[in-house]
Structure 1
Amino acid sequence: MFAFWSHLLPVIKLYLLGLKVLLTQLFSRPFRLPVMPRQDGKVAIVTGGGSGIGYEVVRHMARLGVHVIIVEFKKLDLASLQSVHQFVQSFKQRRLPLHILVNNAGVMLVPEGRTEDGSEQHFAVNYLGHFLLTWLLLDTLKDAGKCGLFSRVVNVSSSAHRIGKIRLHDLNSRQGYSAHAAYCQSKLAQLLFSSHLHQELQRGGFPVTSCAVDPGMVDTALYRHLWTPLRLAQSALARLLLRTPAEGAATVLHAALSPALEGECGGGYWADGCRQMTTPPTFDPQLQLSLWETSLQLLGLQ
């Protein structure tokens, strides 16, 4: 009975949270991105840039003159640590600077499965692969940033982090799998990483900022693993309740490009174009550090 409820509870919590977000979106206007200055000379990497929110981010950046490198799963398999290493090696061989890294690619509610490295898929793709990608590109980001024109790391998260729990003893969900719990854990892990990274960069005096962004509930392929009746309802009501990919991309672009967020104004958690408060675990310094150190060990970086 306990196992049944421990599996069902994350499902109930996530769908109730989703309903709350949908109602909020129904009665509020989406954030509209202000006119941004030209960004000629900047180089950006956007994971998952071939569709959905990522595509809209890439399209807008390109219009502003950014040299955007679109990272798709077929070119960079975030579920494969070897693939991440190979991508970064290939990028560095081009000797390009890097001013913006948008960690956008993700999976949601996928069936239980393991990567070639033995990690649970949500944890691997949404969090661990992006952790490694960011870590390997940090020197390039630091070299490109300068006083008054910081490089930026933007981590695309979700309101689902609010009900996530970090199970340091079982990050890969081996002691009972729930797709809903695994997804929420991966999104909370993103925020913990983003916050701790920003603090580390500030302490080191490096010209790089890190922040997390919640784009809202957006009409993309991310929801294809929803329970069938909900997926059908989502398809029918998408135009009424869900944001368009362009609307979802607005806060991501704001965090990545806005001059108003330069330097010390960076960092934090952003939604609807504003810095917002989030759940207490996100600010827990011991939890941040424990997850950081555990991740380094899992990735063989320590």
Structure 2
Amino acid sequence: MNSRELRVLPKQHGRVAVVTGGTRGMGYETARHLARLGMHVVIAGNERTEGAAAVGRIQEEGVEGKVEFVFLDLTSLKSVRQFAQAFKDRGLPLHVLVNNAGTMMVPERQTEDGFEFHFTLNYLGHFLLTNLLLGMLKRSGRQGCCSRIINMSSATHYAGVVHMDDLNRRICYSSHGAYSQSKLALVLFTYYLQEQLTAGGFPVTVNAVDPGMVDTALYDNLWSLAQTLKRPVAKILFRTPAEGASISIYAAAASEMEGVGACYLYNSHKTQSSDSSYDSELQAQLWKKSCELVGLQI
């Protein structure tokens, strides 16, 4: 989907969106465009100064919607709970949740809760956030105008393996393996949650999106030689953050996505995800284990 196509998306006045990692890169472009469509956009991120600057830049464009920044550290389950409770206390509806924030190829490290960093930031924090805000999404949607959840996955999920007995990757750590596992987990989560929502008759859709190779700060963790080699290639082969964000914007606002869930979207088309992502038993196992890890009732 190109910028011209994005301009013809329907206006979104009266709808509220939360975009994680919305201070820069694809998250920023997603927040910016949803605000241009008239949404009230809450940018959730862990850099207050960067957040204020992002809000200022978007407001300077004279967007139709409202935009604000609220602190959220997805690597902290406490912070996720605080964000969700504060959002609920405001009494706002919630129509769109874009689980965009992510990290890639960081050296082995644990979060304050003792979980592997990629797994927590890319997946587990979003799993908890989504579940805590799910009641609001259900109440805000209606038939013919569903609430929408968008999970940012990646083509690396095709190489991903979810180690149910070692989700923290402590036995044999690989930054690429940890990253691809987290992105596969998001697709498994997408399909399982949509199945539960459909079975309950709730007006909420969940889709996973693949932005392709995008020139963002995610690649900052590549080792120095790879960084040097990447720069000229990125100018030719990589998408810009705005181009990468177009798929999330499409999933969040396009009329043809109304009521459509359980998709893996690439270039605005439903694409086959990895074989393992359709494993219903693995989906259920991961859901159960994730609930245990974050302290949710199953």
TM-score in same-fold range (> 0.5): yes
Counterpart position of 1:218: 214
Please give the residue correspondences for 1:85-96 in structure 2 after superposition, counting only pairs within 5 Å. Answer: 85-96=81-92
TM-score (norm 1): 0.88
Structure 1 unpaired stretches of 5+: 1-28
- Structure 1 outlier segments of 4+, above 6 Å: 29-32
The answer to whether residue 226 in structure 2 is matched with residue 269 in structure 1 is no
The answer to whether residue 158 in structure 2 is matched with residue 185 in structure 1 is no
Counterpart position of 1:250: 246
**Separation of aligned partners in 2, 1:88 and 1:30:** 33
1:155 to 146, 151, 156: 151
**Separation of aligned partners in 1, 2:276 and 2:235:** 34
Deviation readout 1:204-243 (Å, 9 max, x if unpaired): 0000000000001101000011122221122223221110
Please give the residue correspondences for 1:225-244 in structure 2 after superposition, counting only pairs within 5 Å. Answer: 225-244=221-240
Q: Does the residue aligned with 2:187 lie in a helix, a strand or coil? A: helix
CA 1:80/1:141 → structure 2, altered by over 3 Å: closer, same or farther? same
Counterpart position of 1:138: 134
Deviation readout 1:23-48 (Å, 9 max, x if unpaired): xxxxxx97964410110000000000
Aligned 8 A contact 1:61 1:68 in 2: yes
Counterpart position of 1:23: none
**Separation of aligned partners in 2, 1:190 and 1:231:** 27
Q: Does the residue aligned with 2:102 lie in a helix, a strand or coil? A: coil
Counterpart position of 2:14: 41
Structure 2 unpaired stretches of 5+: 48-70
**Mean Cα displacement is larger for which, 68-77 or 118-127?**
68-77
1:288 to 277, 283, 286: 283
**Separation of aligned partners in 2, 1:262 and 1:70:** 23
Count of aligned positions: 273
Amino acid of the structure 1 residue aligned with 2:35: A
Aligned 8 A contact 1:41 1:67 in 2: yes
**Separation of aligned partners in 1, 2:4 and 2:231:** 24
Q: Does the residue aligned with 2:277 lie in a helix, a strand or coil? A: helix
* Aligned residues: CA RMSD: 1.2
Q: Percent identity?
A: 53
Counterpart position of 1:116: 112
**Separation of aligned partners in 2, 1:220 and 1:293:** 33
Q: Does the residue aligned with 1:101 lie in a helix, a strand or coil? A: strand
2:74 to 72, 75, 78: 78
Deviation readout 1:108-152 (Å, 9 max, x if unpaired): 000111001000000000000000000000000000000100000
Counterpart position of 1:5: none
